[in-house]
Structures are given as structure tokens and as C-alpha cells.
Amino acid sequence: MSTNVNRIDRAFAALAASGKKGLLPYVTAGLPDLDTTEQILEGLATAGATAVELGFPYSDPIADGPTIQTSFTRVLERGIHVKDILAMVARFRQRCAMPLLGMLSYTIVYRRGVERFIAESAEAGLDGLIVPDLPLEEAAEISEAMSRAGLCLVMLVSPTTPPDRRRQIAELSRGFVYYMSVTGITGERDRLPPELVDNVRALRRIAGRPVVVGFGISTADHVRMVCTEADGAIIGSALVRRIMAATDAGAKAEDVVRTAVEAVCEWMTGLP
């Protein structure tokens, strides 16, 4: 196992030491192009994002709502591949230490080869992977392989996950546990479930590591509500929508980046 402390662990340890909570934006890799994605990552790091989830486009999304599916289609039509995304990550990593997690379908990992993909991810500078469709039965072996490479495997818990299964997922997760505020697909929502805070509190008692909440979060008030108990919040569709809207309006790259950074700064006002 790697003797280096993972950047995700360091980031959450720093938050805990200062009594703060984190915001983890989601960005589709290659939207609107890889150069602009890289600039967005740099802007979000400067703005103080705890980490960024980098979505790897896939033609058959597992839990992604229409906004992120549309972003995937746009990127895939440009002919951007996994190797191109990892090359961008490597360039970014030369200049910035903000934690990055790849969020992707297990099909991408499997087709490339599990050991190969883990090695390439670590070499490029990713700090962890979120693989929503990874079967729990295969997670132990992959979590161990990732730990040896110095990577965190972040696993998801939904509101309907049975208690025993929650414990298994929490034990296998590294870095943090990803709690889905709602079942179903990603996307912006007007309201979050009233039982969300209680569910997160219960999960934190058994997890033994940070719990971060995603799915449906799209406002500073949502972030404020979630972070009364969770260690951080994830915003995806709302950010991707703004990036696409700026691009569709003909904005230059620097203006697209500014749009993304301003949105994240707005949502960060909800952090305790």
C-alpha cells in the first residue's frame, strides 16, 4: 500500500481540524473542450473547492440525469477518449494539488483493464474513483488494488440501501462515503427530502469516515441544509448546466471559466 497520505484524506482532515465543511463540484471532462476543463479545474482550486469530481463521458450513463447525459453526448461527439482525459489530468497535476476524483462507469474501467486503469489513474494524478455501477461483490478486490496504488475508492449509499449493506459499503470506501440524497438519477431539485439530515447522521455513526452528499443539490440553501450534518456537498448538474449555457451563448473560454467559478463561489456561501 502506498505510504503517502492521499490528498482526499488530507483535505478532509484539514476541514475537520478547522471545523469546516467542503464543497465538491462535479465537472464533465472535455466540456466544452479539454483545455477549458483544465482552466475550470484551476479556477475551482483557486476558489477553494475541497475537491472536484471529474466525470468521464460514457454513451450509456448509469445514474446521470438529462443535463449530464447531454454533456456526455457533446464530449463524445468531439472524439475525446479516456487517454485524452488522463493526459489533461496529468497536465493539471503539475501545477495544482487540489484532489481530483474520476467518476465513471465500471464498463470503462473493465474494458481498459482494471489494473491498467488504476495504474494509469494514479500516474496521471487522480486521487480516487467513484464507480456507481461497481458491484459490491467485486468492490473488495478493487478497493484493495486501488489502495495499493494510493487511490481512494468512494462508494455510494442510497436512501434505500439496507443497513447491513451500508456497513459493507462504508467499510470498503476510502476518502469518504457518497450519500445520495434521493434515489434515481442526478439532476437539480427544488427541495431535498426532509429526512436527509437524519439519514446522514445515522450513516456517519457507522461510516467511520467523512460522508458527503450529492444528487439534487443546486443552491446555497441546499448546501447549508446538507452540511448541518454531512462533511461536504456535491453539486453537479447545476454546474454543468451553467457551463453548457455559457458555451451555447458563445462565451469565450475565460468567460466559461468565470461562469463556473462564480457559481461555485455562490454555492460555497452555504457552507458553515
The answer to whether 178 touches 204, Cβ cutoff 8 Å, is no
- From 9, 38, 53, 231, active-site residue: 53
Q: Helix (H, G, I), strand (E, B), or coil: what is residue 53?
A: strand
Nine cell digits for residue 113: 483493464
- From 35, 42, 60, 64, active-site residue: 64
Q: Which residues of 96-135 are buried (b: 16+ CB within 10 A; e: fewer)?
A: bebbbbbbbbbeebeeeebeebbebbbebbbbbbbbbebe
64 catalytically annotated: yes
Residue 255, H or E segment: helix 253-268
Which residues in the chain belong to E strands, given as ranges? 22-28, 52-55, 100-103, 128-130, 152-154, 156-157, 177-180, 211-214, 232-235
Q: Which residues are catalytic?
A: 53, 64
